[in-house]
Structures are given as C-alpha cells and as structure tokens.
Amino acid sequence: MRILIAEDDQVLADGLLRTLRAAGAAVDHVASGSEADAALLTNNEFDLLILDLGLPRMHGLEVLKRLRSRGSTLPVLILTAADSVEERVRGLDLGADDYMAKPFALQELEARVRALVRRGNGAASSQIKHGPLVYDQAGRVATIDGKMVELSARELGLLEVLLQRAGRLVSKDQLVERLCEWGEEVSNNAIEVYIHRLRKKIEKGPIRIATVRGLGYCLEKIPG
C-alpha cells in the first residue's frame, strides 16, 4: 500500500514512517499543508492520507476540503490535539474517514490504517482470496491451499496490488507508483524481476500472472 503522511512534527513523523514501513507500506512524508495539497494533486496512487490538522502554510482542514472538492474518495485519517473536539467534528463533516487524538498508540494507528485501506478497496475482511491463494493483509502472510508461501517484502507488496486488482490489467508504471516512495529508484526491469520471482512461488494450480506485452500484468484464475 502507498501512504502519504502530512505531519509537521518531525519526531512523530519519523515514528509513523518507521512503523508503517516496517508493516510493509511505501510511505511518503510532507511537513506542510501546501506540500500535501500539491502531492495529492499530482499523485492518485495513494491508498491513504494521514493528515495532521495543525499544518503550516495551509491548515489540514483546507487540504481535506480541497481534496474532496476534486471528487477524491481517498481514505483520510486525521490527527488532532486531544482537546480539539470542534476540529475533529468539522474534519469528519468535511469528509474525513476517521480520526485519532494525540497522543496515540502506534499499534492502534496500524490497525486503523489497515481498516481504512480495506474499506477504500471495498473489502470487509483483512483477507484477500483468489482461488486457493489467500493473503492476510493484517499478518502479511500468503498461503496457497493453507500452506504458507515465503515472500519478500517487495513480493508481498506486489502480490497485494495484483490481488486488489485481480482480473484487471496493472501497468508497470502503476506498480512503481504503488510500491515505491519518492526518490526510490525502481526500474521497469526490476519490476520484471519481482514478477518473475513471484510467479515461481505462486503459480500453482489455477493461478497465473499473465503478461500483456507492453501494457502490464494481470492476476488470473485458469479455468479448470
């Protein structure tokens, strides 16, 4: 998953970055409202926005208002001071999906992030199933016919994207956008290598990753 954090407290931002990256997410960070607004204007591959309201150069509520005015349904988790009930209410009224009052437990934030991303993808469960293949987003474990498949962090991220769009074509550019943070260099050749490794581990029985040359990849079930 790809997450944007808009938070001007560097200590808190560093903690969020470490926690969410350890959970397998690609995470980008901005420290002002204007930077958040610009990032959201130019990138539509984020799965979630974690938005502090007390941002410099543009208040978080204005960032949220602009995002929703563009018709975006991106899930938004707002961060607020514990005593700012009025701001929390206004944020929810403007289209935020959830909020957390500072200070908060990082473990709870992780759980809320997973729930919001699932909701954004139209899933009620943390498990995504594709034939005998099951991926548990909470535990970051993939199984085929109940047997665990050993996958690297990058392979798990790739599998998650393909499962979320199973049956639909996913281009190499889309994979790079969903898996990689700003400044991280991942070439199309590298994506091909990751796809090759993932294929060797999951293409069992009726599952395959089809290649549409020049266009991208599609996770399919082979008719029995």
pLDDT of residue 65: 96
Is residue 221 pLDDT above 90, yes or no? no
pLDDT digits (tens, 9 = 90+) for 105-154: 999 999 999 889 888 766 656 788 888 899 888 788 999 988 999 998 88
pLDDT of residue 122: 65
64 contacts: CB under 8 Å, gap ≥ 6: 51, 76, 78, 91, 94, 95, 96
- For residue 53, CA distances in Å to 100, 141, 157 come to 11, 34, 29
Q: To the nearest whole number, what is the mean pLDDT of the chain?
A: 88
pTM, full prediction: 0.76
pLDDT digits (tens, 9 = 90+) for 67-95: 999 999 999 999 988 677 888 889 899 99
The torsion angles phi and psi of 210, rounded to 5 degrees, stand at -80, 140
Task: For the chain, give every domain's residue range.
Answer: 2-121, 127-220
